[in-house]
Amino acid sequence: MRATIAVLPGDGVGPEVVAEAVKVLEATAKSFGHTLDLASGQIGGGAIDATGSPLPAETLRVCRNADAVLFGAVGGPRWSDPRGRVRPEDGLLGLRRELGVFANLRPVRAVSDLADVSALRADRISDVDVLIVRELTGGIYFGARQEATAARREAYDTMRYSDEEVRRVAHVGFRLARERRQRVTSVDKANVLASSRLWRQVVNDVAREYPGVECESMLVDAAAMHLLRRPADFDVLLTENLFGDILADEASMLVGSIGMLPSASLGDGRRGLYEPIHGSAPDLAGRGVANPLGAVLSAAMLVRHSLGWRVEADAIEAAASRVVADGFRTADIATAGSTTVGTAEMGTRIAELVAGASREEGPCVVTQ
């Protein structure tokens, strides 16, 4: 098969981790007999410096012409002046909105080899397998806002949701729960927020269409607590945009490092946006030490969801697990006795395993 992928490395460690994800994608294509056309684009702070815009029209065009978008990270101290006219993050938010990718999937699975790295005791995390389904193009991220000015020291943001915005992401959550452990926990703050009361009503409505799926609504503060107290009880965690942003970072500590977690942002069609959930980590940038697993596992989600290459996605995930199991770790997930490797070596090791993957299927020669 032939596929076009838009590659947007962005700022900070973005280019370093995306380079490894691309290395793994190229190895995958070669190993399984596919052709990949890669088209790169600027986004974030680098794009502001080069063009004045965090999301240049050309980048959007490249993304619209692609089957999927692989994204690194945006932002950094260089562009974080609160009085700045444009922010790097506006590039990512604009891209999510323009591509209509309203459902952000963030799988959080405990890795037994990394039990020592988790923030929790091994017995609490052994069965953790949570899929966060975060609404991505609505809520307080996109509601009306007013910046404070020198004259008027007051600012606001608005958390707004329509019935339809909640309904479509709820369907994604319930559909995915049906393929998993049949359980949705919907997160809201319905005891305080009007938008959450609508959220809860609509989720209940949608739940009626999935009689086999158990559904509970949980207040976000309680959810933050239960995620640490009994994380293995969660299956699909369905949440609005800001709550999902916060809970995903919290959940990454179950695994042990935010560098590990991938994400897929999906809309109505097959095209998706794939990104590690970590940020640009300016303190690590340029040092070759960032963990590329979040980006590499995002590439696995990309080939599975947008290209329909399931065996290939499994092969990438298996190779990543194998490298970690063999004791090769970036500094953030290093444990006693493991071998600390840099970003590029981690990527190369995964790519090498993937390169051999299609040949490991069986003794029969595959004629493409």
Residues forming the site for ligand IPM (CB under 6 A): 75, 89, 92-93, 245, 277, 279
Q: Number of C-alpha atoms within 13 angstroms, CB side, residue 230?
A: 5
> Is residue 275 involved in binding Mg ion (CB under 5 A)?
no
One residue of 165, 235, 245, 332 binding Mg ion per CB under 5 A:
245
What's the CA gap between 362 and 49, in Å, rounded? 51
In the list ligand IPM, Mg ion, none, the entry touching 240 (Cβ below 5 to 8 angstroms by class) is: none
Burial 261-299 (b: 16+ CB within 10 A, else e): bbbbbbbeeebbbbbbbbbbbbebbeeebbbbbbbbbbb
Residue for token digits 């559909």? 175
Phi and psi (nearest 5°) for 140? -70, -20
Closer residue to Mg ion in complex, CB, 280/306:
280
Whole-number minimum distance, CB 334 to ligand IPM, in Å? 24
Whole-number minimum distance, CB 205 to Mg ion, in Å? 29
In the list ligand IPM, Mg ion, none, the entry touching 36 (Cβ below 5 to 8 angstroms by class) is: none
Give catalytic status of residue 249 as yes or no: yes
Among 221, 268, 283, 326, the active-site one is 221
What six digits make up the tokens of 119?
């923030």
Whole-number minimum distance, CB 228 to Mg ion, in Å? 18
- Nearest Cα to Cα of residue 14 among 41, 35, 38: 41
Whole-number minimum distance, CB 74 to ligand IPM, in Å? 6
Give catalytic status of residue 188 as yes or no: no
Enclosing H/E stretch for 329:
strand 328-329
**DSSP tag of 358:** G
Q: Do 123 and 116 touch, CB atoms closer than 8 A? A: no
Specify the 3-state DSSP secondary structure of 147: coil
What six digits make up the tokens of 49?
């410096």
Residue nearest to ligand IPM as judged by C-beta position: 89
Among 113, 129, 249, 314, the active-site one is 249
Q: Which range touches Mg ion (CB under 5 A), out of 97-105, 238-246, 266-274, 333-341?
A: 238-246
Distances in whole angstroms, Cα of residue 248 to Cα of each of 50, 224, 263: 32, 10, 10
Closer residue to Mg ion in complex, CB, 245/332:
245
Label residue 208 exposed, middle or buried (CB < 10 Å: 0-12, 13-18, 19+). Answer: exposed
- Please count the residues of this chain forming the interface with Mg ion, following the rule CB under 5 A: 1
Closer residue to Mg ion in complex, CB, 245/312:
245
Whole-number minimum distance, CB 223 to ligand IPM, in Å? 17
What's the CA gap between 272 and 41, in Å, rounded? 16
Give catalytic status of residue 189 as yes or no: yes
Whole-number minimum distance, CB 281 to ligand IPM, in Å? 12
Closer residue to Mg ion in complex, CB, 90/245:
245
Among 11, 67, 90, 245, the active-site one is 245
What's the CA gap between 9 and 148, in Å, rounded? 32
Bridge partners (DSSP) listed for residue 219: 188
Give catalytic status of residue 245 as yes or no: yes
Give catalytic status of residue 23 as yes or no: no
Among 23, 67, 90, 141, the active-site one is 141
What's the CA gap between 254 and 286, in Å, rounded? 27
Closer residue to Mg ion in complex, CB, 3/132:
132
Amino acid (1-letter code) at residue 74:
V
Whole-number minimum distance, CB 279 to ligand IPM, in Å? 6
In the list Mg ion, ligand IPM, none, the entry touching 92 (Cβ below 5 to 8 angstroms by class) is: ligand IPM
What's the CA gap between 24 and 63, in Å, rounded? 20
Angle 55-59-62 (CA atoms, 0-180°, nearest 5)? Answer: 155
- Nearest Cα to Cα of residue 324 among 255, 266, 277: 255
Distances in whole angstroms, Cα of residue 298 to Cα of each of 148, 154, 239: 37, 39, 20
Active centre residues (catalytic): 141, 189, 221, 245, 249
The residues that touch Mg ion, with contacts defined as CB under 5 A, are 245
